[in-house]
């Protein structure tokens, strides 16, 4: 069969199947992300059907999906709100780094992968998936919740930390001198600073530059600028997601509202392809040998992320249900973790087993996180109801003075 025809057939089947999975998820009141991931796993490399014809397209579409997810998240907040959140949450960001780097470093050293393996696996376990967290918050209607700014502040702190971590990792894997690595880090920090200053001081001008009463022109302006900024950020060794988020921060007012309305359908389409593409590129046969270690890491780092979110939300004066939601919604790992493992294995500096462990771990966390976020509220209500019942029984059986 003609390669183009085959690719179109496979792509159509994938998109149609995503619609069916999203409908199923809606009927059982859960996020569709776990179903997208498992569907990709079943029909990807080593699965029941290898959809090789759509792999190249799905990779680029997935990148666009992450960019749109973070762009629309940025549109919900202003630069002033971002700075306020970072000032309040930088301590939580530091605690997050310490608690979630340590498990990966420890397991890597225990498995004999050495210092480089420890740096790599520590990064894999540290950084939450901004894309998955953004999708979960949107799907569950929690953008307006009090804990959401705290969650986003921690995610932004992590993404900014990646702007420092990734150049250092790349230099270490390539054997570049410390001076060369520091130069790369300096460039990354300079780019982030410039973007933040533009967002804070020239946000109105950016909004006017992209705004148009014609929806077609407006959509092309916003989409084109988002891809351009994300690409330039990536070229400067800064996360493309961070670039898109910062652009969203810079756009404000009516322009931001209209951009959100126009981009939401595109975001949902490309984000779904991103999640299924991750599953498509995972070989199920690589999972069993490392499943035990991946499960151990999943349990430990789920608890450390919950602890981070709980502590950060408590410092912001948020109640117990909000603290629980903040912690659970930080659990998913995704795009950054896979990029980190891919860089390491491609360089030949670490064992290929590390990639299998990282992939299995990320898949587990990408499923556990959305499911946990869906059921955390019912669980907290059950716990509170049980406590009230116990308290009532104690009062009923207490001796009368």
pTM for this predicted structure: 0.72
Q: Give the whole-angstrom CA distance, residue 267 versus residue 74.
A: 13
Say which residues have a Cβ less than 8 Å from residue 198's Cβ, sequence separation at least 6. 206, 250
∠ CA(131), CA(136), CA(141), 5° rounding? 130
Which own/partner contact pairs does 3-11 have at CB distance under 8 Å and 24+ positions apart? 3/53, 6/53, 7/53, 7/54, 7/57, 9/53, 10/51, 10/53, 10/54, 11/53, 11/54, 11/57
pLDDT at 273: 82
Which stretches of the chain score pLDDT less than 70?
Answer: 1, 29-31, 44-56, 79, 81-82, 85-86, 163, 167, 174-182, 184-185, 188, 191-192, 195-196, 199, 237-239, 278-279, 281-282, 335, 346, 395-401
Q: Give the whole-angstrom CA distance, residue 74 versus residue 313.
A: 20
For residue range 70-118, list pLDDT tens digits in order.
Answer: 788 778 777 676 677 667 778 888 999 999 999 999 999 998 888 888 9
Q: Give the whole-angstrom CA distance, residue 77 versus residue 215.
A: 22
Q: Give the whole-angstrom CA distance, residue 238 versus residue 291.
A: 32
pLDDT at 316: 85
Locate 302 and state its tokens: 């789920």
Domain regions of the chain by residue span: 67-267+285-396
Half-sphere exposure of 294 (CA within 13 A, CB side): 22
Q: Give the whole-angstrom CA distance, residue 175 versus residue 171.
A: 6
pLDDT at 304: 95
CATH class of 67-267+285-396: mainly alpha
pLDDT at 294: 93
pLDDT at 96: 93
CA distance readout (Å), 168 to 103, 120, 161, 188, 340: 20, 11, 11, 11, 11
pLDDT at 35: 79
pLDDT at 121: 92
């Amino acid at each position: 069969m003609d390669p183009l025809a085959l690719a179109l057939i496979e792509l159509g089947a994938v998109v149609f199947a995503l619609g069916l999975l999203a409908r199923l998820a809606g009927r059982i009141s859960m996020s569709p992300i776990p179903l997208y991931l498992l569907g990709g796993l079943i029909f990807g490399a080593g699965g029941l059907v290898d959809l090789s014809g759509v792999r190249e397209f799905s990779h680029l579409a997935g990148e666009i999906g992450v960019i749109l997810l973070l762009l629309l998240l940025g549109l919900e907040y202003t630069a002033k709100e971002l700075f306020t959140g970072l000032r309040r949450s930088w301590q939580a960001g530091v605690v997050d780094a310490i608690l979630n780097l340590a498990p990966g470093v420890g397991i890597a050293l225990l498995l004999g992968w050495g210092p480089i393996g420890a740096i790599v696996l520590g990064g894999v376990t540290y950084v939450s998936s901004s894309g998955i967290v953004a999708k979960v918050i949107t799907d569950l209607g929690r953008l307006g919740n009090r804990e959401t700014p705290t969650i986003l502040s921690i995610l932004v702190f992590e993404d900014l930390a990646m702007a420092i971590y990734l150049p250092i990792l790349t230099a270490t894997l390539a054997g570049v001198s410390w001076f060369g690595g520091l130069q790369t880090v300096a460039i990354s920090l300079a780019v982030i600073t410039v973007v933040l200053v533009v967002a804070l001081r020239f946000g109105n001008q950016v909004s006017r530059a992209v705004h148009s009463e014609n929806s077609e022109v407006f959509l092309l302006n916003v989409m084109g600028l988002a891809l351009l900024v994300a690409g330039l950020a990536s070229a400067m060794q800064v996360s493309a997601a961070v670039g898109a988020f910062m652009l969203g921060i810079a756009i404000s007012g009516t322009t931001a509202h209209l951009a959100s309305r126009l981009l939401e359908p595109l975001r949902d389409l490309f984000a779904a392809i991103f999640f299924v593409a991750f599953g498509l590129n995972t070989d199920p046969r690589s999972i069993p040998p490392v499943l035990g270690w991946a499960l151990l890491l999943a349990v430990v780092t789920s608890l450390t992320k919950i602890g981070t979110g709980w502590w950060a939300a408590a410092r912001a004066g948020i109640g117990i249900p909000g603290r629980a939601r903040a912690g659970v919604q930080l659990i998913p790992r995704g795009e950054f973790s896979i990029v980190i493992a891919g860089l390491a294995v491609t360089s030949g500096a670490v064992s290929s087993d590390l990639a299998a462990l990282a992939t299995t771990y990320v898949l587990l966390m990408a499923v556990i996180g959305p499911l946990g976020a869906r059921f955390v509220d019912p669980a907290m209500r059950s716990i509170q109801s049980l406590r009230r019942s116990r308290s009532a029984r104690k009062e009923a059986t207490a001796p009368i003075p």
